[in-house]
Amino acid sequence: MTLGQFATAVGAPPRWVLNALTRLKVARRYSEPLARRLALAKMLADTAGTALPDAWTLAERALSETDPFGTWRHESPSGAITLVVEMPRFFTSYGARLALARNQYGEKPRGPRAKRRGTAIERAEAWGIDTSLLGAQLTRTPAQRVSELDRNLEFLRKVRVGP
């Protein structure tokens, strides 16, 4: 996993990811389990207002203690605050970001780019597309094209209504 993929899966900019991993004293080995835990820690820190190191610890507990289809609850030591995380919702949003990361940051082809040969119309014709109607329309003025569209529209109205 690259830094771009990792940051997309976490749902944060790459700079935030680098700063967070440095603050948490975590090695920069970008892996899916680390991205999942950091994404949950970020969510907990953002929504509950906890410090990132505390959210990091809570994220580890939530991922290890809870069924992915269940709900994780954590009460503060005073019992005044209860933190509830619906794990299916988290895993759904994380999975969508992970899929985006895998598709957006795919392997790039090596070597120089293939050069395009010919115009777009020549390439379309090489693929077997009939461009004769396109060429005929482009020889007309915009006013002629609009009047032809009006005639076609009138014809369609007559066909739909019937005799």
Q: For residue range 26-65, what is the model confidence (pLDDT) as tens digits?
A: 988 899 999 999 999 999 999 888 899 999 999 998 998 8
- Can you give the three-state secondary structure of 90-142, one letter per residue? HHHHHHHHHHHHHHHCCCCCCCCCCCCCCCHHHHHHHCCCCCHHHHHHHHCCH
Q: For residue range 59-102, what is the model confidence (pLDDT) as tens digits?
A: 998 998 888 888 888 887 787 778 888 889 999 999 999 999 98
> How far is 21 from 129, CA to CA, in rounded Å?
53
As a whole number, mean pLDDT of residues 104-109 equals 70
Residue 142: predicted pLDDT: 92
As a whole number, mean pLDDT of residues 115-119 equals 82
Residue 35: predicted pLDDT: 94
Residue 111: left (phi > 0), alpha (psi -120 to 50), or beta? left
Full-model pTM: 0.62
> How far is 146 from 67, CA to CA, in rounded Å?
62
Query: Which residues are CB-neighbours of 47 under 8 A, at least 6 positions away?
Result: none
> How far is 70 from 142, CA to CA, in rounded Å?
61
